Each structure stands twice: as structure tokens, then as C-alpha cells.
Amino acid sequence: MGEMIGKQSVKFAEAPYIFEGASVVGPKEGEGPLGKLFDVIEQDPMLGSKSWEEAESLLQKETVQKLLLKSGLKKEDIRYIFAGDLLGQLIATTFGIMDYEIPFMGLYGACSTMGEGLSLAAMMVAAGYGENVIAMASSHFGSAERQFRFPLEYGNQRPFSATWTVTGCGAAIVTKRKGFARITGVTTGKIIDYGVKDAQNMGACMAPAAADVIYNHLNDFGTAPDDYDKIITGDLGYVGQAILIDLLKRKGIDISKVHMDCGIEMFDKENQDTHSGGSGCGCSATVLTSYVFKQLKKKAWKKILFIPTGALMSPISFNQGKSVPGIAHLVVIESV
């Protein structure tokens, strides 16, 4: 059960646990500063398959397998899986999880999907609809470039505001069983459009949505940035981080001391040529289930906000001259 708080939040009476997480990434992510923290680094970005899309499906398949193994659960123990990816019609997810035969709810929140999935998983478990629920999200550099931007063979030059789509998949088990952390509340985001039309500057498109959901969360719960050890966005990158901090400062809120962005953490800016940082739903999902979970496990962080951000666009909407609205979903996680 949970209680409605303020305008767009829920606070759980009996907060569900996070029991375990799993992360599988590609070689470039493995060479980054968080490399040692992921469960699996695939050395071949194709995972031995024939297409990027198939490789992304394999990332999902492997992540579920690893998650079940780490948590000592069988696929039959999982009541629901909430999952998604960036590709049209969620084909990476469909072909990735099919064989597990777990009741499935397909989600699309662009790069905010891990926040949407964790929110729903926590809501399900807290309401008694399931004992164990998986939330998962993935992205793949190759499949995302084909979907959204230029053929890789074209060798298009990337502006400095551009981010680099993470090849990776992260998943977590939300459960009634005692785990290392609890999801104590959620704040569900609205679509926010500032009219930015630059698909090579996702940070600017998404920062207003992150600012809006953080602002509403603090209002709904009556908290301040200092109440959290970290306020973690998904893939704003350097450009989006500056905008987010600035937007909140104008409302009298300073998150600069506790803000962290998964996209900034993922790659080494100097040596990996990733410009504004990492992106994709796999970015926040893998950083959460590796680095962030480890910090919570050793209680280095006691209370955090996890806020993956999504840019809502498609090749069609972009080519039709539409703007790129953003959305962000917020989850409160506390160590146990």
C-alpha cells in the first residue's frame, strides 16, 4: 500500500526492497571509470550476433539470467517484468525476454525507462500484486544510432553537446524479501517541452523535465537537497547538468553539492571521446545497478534520488520539425 503525497508522488507504507541488481555492458563501457563494477563486460559489441538489435536483445537476456543467478531465484519466482528499450516497438526487449515466459508490461519512457520500471515495480510489490518483480532497461550504441541518427558508416561528426549511447543493460529485483535497500517513494514525471529541437543536444531537451520532477518531489515530500546523499540523474551529460542546476537555482534550490549524472560517470571525458557523456536507457540502468547499488550496500550513501531522464522524439517527429520534449521519473531509494 501507499499514500498519495502532494501533487504527483506516492510514499509507501511498507516500502518494498531492492534485493539484487545486475548489469551487462559493452567493451567501451568496460574501459570507462566504472568498468570494474559491472557484472559482465562483453568484449564483442555484437555479442556474436548478426545485428545490433539482436545484440541488444542478448544483453537483456543475459542480464535477466545474471540477475536470477545472483538473487537465487528461478524465472517462475518472478511475477512481472517491467522493461523497455529505445527502439521502435521495443524489439530489443521483446526478443530479449521472450524465452523467460514472465508476464510482461512493455514500457517506453525513452531514457527514463528504468525510473518508470522501478516506480511500477515498487508500486506492484507494495500493493501485494507480486512477490518479486523485475525492472529492466537497455540500450545499444549501434542500434540507437541506426534508429535515431545517421548510419554509422556515414562518419557524421558529432557536436560537443552530443552524448554517446551506452551499450548496456541493467535490471533490478524489487521484492518483499529483505534486501540491501528500499524504495520508499516515487514521483511520476510529466512531459515538459521547452521547444528545443536539437537532437544532438539531448541534455538541453531533458534538463527541464528533471528540474520539474525534482522540484515537485521536494515540495510533495517537504524535503530539501541536503536530505539526500546524492541526487542522481540519468544522462543529462555536462551540458544538461549545467542547465538543470541553473533551472533549480532560479527556484531557490541548490543541488550542485549532491548532484551526480550517470552519463558523466560512465565515460572518461578526456580519453574516450564521448563529448557530453553517456546516454541511453542502458546508461542510468547500468550505473544504478553497479556503482549506485554498491554505494548503498556499503551504506556510503543512505538516501538517494534516482531520476532517469528521457528525450521524447522519433526519427519521424524530428524530420517533421517537432521539438524534443522531455520526461523524468523519480524514485527514492534508502539503504537498509
Residues contributing to the site for a second copy (CB under 8 A): 1-4, 8, 10, 50-51, 53-54, 79-80, 84, 86-91, 94-95, 97-98, 101-110, 116, 119-120, 123-124, 126-131, 146-147, 188-191, 193, 312-317, 320, 322, 325, 327
Q: Which is nearer to a second copy, 43 or 319 (CB)?
A: 319
In the block, which residue shows the cell 570494474?
36
289: exposed, middle or buried (Cβ count in 10 Å: 0-12, 13-18, 19+):
buried
Cβ–Cβ under 8 Å, residues 307 and 255: no
- Nearest distance in Å: CB 151, a second copy: 13
Q: Which is nearer to a second copy, 71 or 188 (CB)?
A: 188
- Nearest distance in Å: CB 92, a second copy: 9
- Nearest distance in Å: CB 150, a second copy: 16
What are the φ and ψ backbone dihedral angles of 212, each rounded to 5 degrees? -65, -45
All residues at 6 or more sequence positions from 309 whose CB lies less than 8 Å from its CB, including other chains: 111, 112, 206, 207, 209, 210, 233, 234, 235, 236, 240, 326, 327, 328
Q: Which is nearer to a second copy, 68 or 260 (CB)?
A: 68
All residues at 6 or more sequence positions from 41 whose CB lies less than 8 Å from its CB, including other chains: 24, 25, 26, 27, 29, 30, 35
- Could you give the CA distance from residue 114 to residue 307 in angstroms, rounded to a whole number? 9
- Nearest distance in Å: CB 198, a second copy: 17
Q: Which is nearer to a second copy, 296 or 332 (CB)?
A: 332
Cβ–Cβ under 8 Å, residues 120 and 105: yes
- Nearest distance in Å: CB 32, a second copy: 27
Angle, vertex CA 15, rays to CA 248 and CA 215, nearest 5: 10
- From the centroid of its chain, how far is CA 272? 21
Q: Which is nearer to a second copy, 223 or 314 (CB)?
A: 314
Q: Which is nearer to a second copy, 99 or 246 (CB)?
A: 99
- Nearest distance in Å: CB 2, a second copy: 6
Cβ–Cβ under 8 Å, residues 89 and 197: no
All residues at 6 or more sequence positions from 162 whose CB lies less than 8 Å from its CB, including other chains: 200, 201, 202, 275, 276
Beta-bridge partners for 327: 310
- Could you give the CA distance from residue 48 to residue 238 in angstroms, rounded to a whole number? 33
Rg of the Cα atoms in the chain: 18
Q: Which is nearer to a second copy, 91 or 258 (CB)?
A: 91
- From the centroid of its chain, how far is CA 333? 14
All residues at 6 or more sequence positions from 65 whose CB lies less than 8 Å from its CB, including other chains: none
- Nearest distance in Å: CB 214, a second copy: 14
- Nearest distance in Å: CB 209, a second copy: 11
Q: Which is nearer to a second copy, 101 or 226 (CB)?
A: 101
- Nearest distance in Å: CB 106, a second copy: 4
Q: Which is nearer to a second copy, 79 or 294 (CB)?
A: 79
- Could you give the CA distance from residue 15 to residue 270 in angstroms, rounded to a whole number? 41
